[in-house]
Every structure is written in structure tokens, then in C-alpha cells.
């Protein structure tokens, strides 16, 4: 029999189910600070986040962009670079002098190091945007900190890693939502659906361990809700059958996983018509057609998949959820420039460049000075959401209310519950 991924009610529980697993050659390692803070000021103290105006629009800044611009996950990262290039073009049209130098790290640590050295020593960049992945970002940060170079990473961090980064890597910021925001929003949704028993699938590393612990801490806030089990898969997913057997022992209401792809298996319905469907809730962030095709390729007829998603623009399948002009203007400008709607992660590059330009407007690109400038920004509205910056805050979008839940239904992403 197989565990079906779908809506399940507690009254429908039946014993003896198994889960069939299927790996996808796709990895998503993004999430770590993105609800934007704006550049500029208004009477309310909140700054709008599109192309900067005033001093920030006229700033001179040389940015180094590191990321996998070729290979399996380039389809996720190239739109991030395009978002950054769009922001630079808008700033330059208003008198700025923003340039972006790129380096393809092919998602490897060795190339991350050589990319940074090339960008710093040969291109003489002032700041670095990227790379993707917490380990990759940390490798670059070790070098950047010695050079007093500010880093805006494209990475996923757990809440404990955020605290560590703020203390040990103050010159590293993160442009995507961190796990403490994503888990909170996801478990709030799970509780609203009556999914009280949560089973967590992670990977066998420090981040995976922290993630499972963070879920446990969050579910404890809801009456009757608990993390009934968790399993950390080996890097190659070779022990997936062991995880499947463990899931069957716990009879969860929902299976929650931080990513969709290797080594985390997609959990699909294989057999056992009498088995009750169990929903799969994924921490995807990018609810777009690229990811949708991957899910559609393994999704069974009765399977239902949910995911946390960015609020402002949910790529090419969901309409803008944010009412602010920044998201709307960004979506229109990106579509006009590149001929396609932006991917959900495109906001990361766009917001990073606008925020860096605003921070550098004070006249210095030294990491310590940029940190101080970010600490003074307060609330910033960007294309990806609303950032909250302040002293010691290196992850501006840690408000779970900025994240939405979408359902993959009939080959398309649709909102699962409201727009906020």
C-alpha cells in the first residue's frame, strides 16, 4: 500500500500504510530573508522599494553576483540575476552608476571561492550578492569578512543559523525568508486545516537537524499539535525506504519537508486504494511553472501538494498578492524587459540591489558602514515583501505573515487560503 499525499481527516486514519518515494534531480536551497524594506522615505516612516530615488539612485556601486548560472538549477538563479540587472538599469536611468559582474559557481564550494577571488581581485567589486546555499555562502563570507566586503547571500538559514550569522558573520545579510518565518507560516496553515500530527522529512546535516527542532518548537505553540516523527535522509537518499517505513508507523496528518527534490524524496501515491490521503506541505518559496512541472511529473491523480510561497509575486502562475505598487511595478517592468513574467525568486536580486544602493548612498561601501546603514533603514517595502531592519538584524523578512500558502491543483498553483 502507499501513503497518498492529499487532504486527510483524522476520522479517516487507517493503519498499515506505506509511502512510495521518487527522487527528482532538482534541488532547492533558497530561503533566507526576503520581505523587503524600501528605499526612500514617506511620512509614515515606511519607504517604498522599487527603483531608488534621490541619493540612492545616484550612487556608484560595483556588485559581484555569484551563483549557478548554468546547470540543473540555473533556471531558478538566472531570474534572480535578471531581477538584479533590472534594478541596476532603473537606478542607472536616474543617474546611478551600478554595474554587475557575474561568476558561475556551478553550485560548488571550490568555484565559490575562486569566483569571489576573481570578482574581488580582478573586477574589484564593492559588494557580493550570492551565492546560493548556506554552505556556499559561508565559504564566501570567510573571505569577504577579511576584505571588509559586504555580502548579500541567496541562501536558506534556520533560525539558529540566523542567530549565529548575526553574531559571527555580521557582514552577511540574506535576501530570502528564513526558516523561522517559513515554518511559522506553514504550521499556522497546518493547524488551521486540522493537521495536528506533523511528520518532518529533512536531510542529514546540521541544517536538517535544526529545521526539525525548529518545527518541534513551533508546533508546541498550538494546542493538540505535535511533531510525531522526523527522519533525516542520507545525502544520496539511499535510505528513503527506511523513512517510508517510519512514516507508516506514525500515521501523520501532514508530511512537511523543506525542499522538493534530491535528496528529499517526493512522496507520492503508489498503491493501496483504501489508504487515506496525507497532504504534503513543502517549503518551496518559488511556486512557479518550473517547479510545477517537476511536481506534475510525479504527482498521482489523488495527490495534493501545498507549499509556502512568496507573497508579492508568485511567478508566472499566480497573480500579485501584494497591494503595494512596488510588486506591481516590478512585475510589469520585468515582463517588459525580458518578455516573460518574473519567477518568484526574481525579487531577491531586485530587492538586494535596491537595498544595497540605498545603504551605499551614505558614501561608503565598506562592510561595516553598510551594516550600519542597513541598521537604520527600519521598514522597507520591496518587490518581495516588507523588510524590517534594525541593529543586529541580518534577515529582514522574518515575518511569517509575508508568506502565502498555495496548492498545486490540476497542473497549476492556486491560492490555498486568502492572500495574506
Contact 414, 318 (CB under 8 A): yes
Domain identity same for 187 and 110: no
Domain identity same for 348 and 293: no
Domain identity same for 322 and 292: no
Instruction: Out of 106-120, 209-223, 227-241, pick the least confident.
Output: 227-241
**Quick one: DSSP state of residue 174?**
E
370, containing H or E segment: helix 367-375
Stronger pLDDT, 88 or 33, i.e. the higher one:
88
The span from the CA of 60 to the CA of 79, in Å, is 23
Domain identity same for 270 and 409: yes
**Quick one: DSSP state of residue 315?**
T
Residue 109 lies in a domain: yes
Contact 19, 2 (CB under 8 A): yes
Burial class (CB in 10 A: 0-12, 13-18, 19+), 109: middle
Residue 108 lies in a domain: yes
Domain identity same for 201 and 78: no
Query: What residue has cell string 512557479?
Result: 288
Domain identity same for 220 and 286: yes
Q: Which grid coordinates are listed for 144?
A: 569577504
Domain identity same for 132 and 101: yes
pLDDT higher than 60, residue 52: no
Residue 36 lies in a domain: no
**According to the model, what pLDDT value does residue 384 have?**
75
Q: Which residues pair with 202 in a beta bridge?
A: 232
Stronger pLDDT, 138 or 113, i.e. the higher one:
113
User: Which strands sit side by side in the sheet containing 404-409, from one edge to the other?
Assistant: 226-233, 197-203, 254-257, 280-285, 305-309, 404-409, 412-415
Stronger pLDDT, 263 or 212, i.e. the higher one:
212
Q: Which grid coordinates are listed for 84?
A: 538584479
Q: Where are the beta strands (DSSP E) in 54-118?
A: 60-67, 97-104
CA 278 vs CA 274, 306, 405, 407: distances in Å:
12, 11, 17, 14
The span from the CA of 329 to the CA of 308, in Å, is 23
Contact 67, 27 (CB under 8 A): no
Residue 1 lies in a domain: no
354, containing H or E segment: helix 346-360
Stronger pLDDT, 265 or 187, i.e. the higher one:
187
**According to the model, what pLDDT value does residue 89 have?**
96
Using DSSP, how many helices (H) and how many strands (E) does the chain show?
A: 11, 17
* DSSP SS3 for 184: helix
The stretch 71-100 carries a mean pLDDT of: 91
Residue 382 lies in a domain: yes
Contact 61, 98 (CB under 8 A): yes
Nearest to 194 by CA among 381, 398, 12: 12
Residue 19 lies in a domain: yes
Domain total of the chain: 2
Contact 393, 49 (CB under 8 A): no
Domain identity same for 360 and 372: yes
Domain identity same for 111 and 218: no
Domain identity same for 411 and 279: yes
Question: Which range scores top for mean pLDDT: 45-49, 104-108, 157-161, 283-287?
Answer: 104-108
Domain identity same for 66 and 130: yes
Q: Which grid coordinates are listed for 54?
A: 534621490
**According to the model, what pLDDT value does residue 312 have?**
46
Residues 6+ apart with CB under 8 A from 29: 132, 133, 134, 155, 156, 259
Query: What residue has cell string 516588507?
Result: 386
Contact 224, 191 (CB under 8 A): no
Residue 37 lies in a domain: no
CATH of the domain at 246: 3.40.50.2300
**According to the model, what pLDDT value does residue 37 have?**
36
pLDDT higher than 60, residue 276: no
Domain identity same for 90 and 103: yes
Structural domain for 260, as ranges: 10-27+180-315+402-415
Handedness of CA 87, 93, 98, 99 (dihedral sign): positive
The stretch 56-65 carries a mean pLDDT of: 86
Residue 34 lies in a domain: no
Amino acid at each position: 500500500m502507499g501513503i497518498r499525499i492529499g487532504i486527510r481527516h483524522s476520522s479517516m486514519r487507517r493503519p498499515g500504510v506505506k509511502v512510495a518515494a521518487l527522487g527528482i534531480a532538482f534541488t532547492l536551497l533558497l530561503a533566507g530573508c526576503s520581505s523587503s524594506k524600501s528605499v526612500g522615505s514617506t511620512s509614515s516612516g515606511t519607504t517604498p522599494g522599487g527603483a531608488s530615488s534621490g541619493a540612492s539612485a545616484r550612487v556608484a556601486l560595483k556588485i559581484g553576483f555569484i551563483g549557478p548560472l548554468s546547470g540543473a538549477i540555473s533556471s531558478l538563479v538566472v531570474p534572480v540575476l535578471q531581477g538584479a540587472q533590472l534594478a541596476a538599469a532603473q537606478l542607472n536611468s536616474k543617474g546611478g552608476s551600478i554595474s554587475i559582474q557575474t561568476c558561475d559557481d556551478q553550485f560548488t564550494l571550490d568555484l565559490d571561492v575562486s569566483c569571489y577571488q576573481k570578482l574581488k581581485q580582478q573586477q574589484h567589486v564593492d559588494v557580493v550578492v550570492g551565492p546560493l546555499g548556506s554552505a556556499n555562502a559561508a565559504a564566501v563570507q570567510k573571505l569577504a569578512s577579511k576584505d571588509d566586503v559586504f555580502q548579500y547571500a541567496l541562501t536558506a538559514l534556520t533560525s539558529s543559523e540566523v542567530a549565529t550569522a548575526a553574531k559571527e558573520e555580521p557582514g552577511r545579510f540574506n535576501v530570502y525568508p528564513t526558516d523561522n518565518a517559513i515554518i511559522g507560516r506553514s504550521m499556522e496553515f497546518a493547524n488551521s486545516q486540522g493537521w495536528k500530527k506533523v511528520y518532518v522529512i529533512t536531510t542529514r546535516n546540521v541544517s536538517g537537524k535544526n529545521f526539525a527542532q525548529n518545527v518541534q518548537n513551533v508546533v508546541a505553540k498550538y494546542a493538540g499539535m505535535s511533531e510525531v516523527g522526523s527522519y533525516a535522509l542520507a545525502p544520496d537518499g539511499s535510505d528513503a525506504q527506511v523513512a517510508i517505513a517510519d512514516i507508516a508507523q506514525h500515521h501523520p496528518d501532514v508530511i512537511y519537508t523543506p525542499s522538493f527534490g534530491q535528496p528529499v524524496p517526493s512522496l507520492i501515491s503508489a498503491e493501496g486504494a483504501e489508504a487515506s490521503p496525507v497532504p504534503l506541505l513543502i517549503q518551496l518559496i518559488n511556486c512557479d511553472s518550473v517547479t510545477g512541472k517537476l511536481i506534475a511529473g510525479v504527482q498521482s491523480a489523488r495527490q495534493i501538494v501545498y507549499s509556502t510561497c512568496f507573497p508579492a509575486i508568485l511567478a508566472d502562475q499566480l497573480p500579485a498578492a501584494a497591494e503595494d505598487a512596488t510588486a506591481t511595478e516590478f512585475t510589469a517592468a520585468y515582463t517588459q524587459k525580458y518578455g516573460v513574467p518574473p519567477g518568484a525568486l526574481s525579487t531577491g536580486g531586485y530587492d538586494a540591489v535596491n537595498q544595497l544602493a540605498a545603504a551605499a548612498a551614505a558614501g561608503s561601501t565598506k562592510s561595516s558602514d553598510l551594516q550600519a546603514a542597513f541598521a537604520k533603514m527600519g521598514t522597507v517595502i520591496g518587490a518581495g515583501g516588507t523588510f524590517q531592519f534594525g541593529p543586529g538584524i541580518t534577515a529582514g523578512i522574518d515575518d511569517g505573515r509575508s508568506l502565502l500558502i498555495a496548492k498545486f491543483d490540476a497542473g497549476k498553483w492556486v491560492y490555498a487560503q486568502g492572500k495574506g
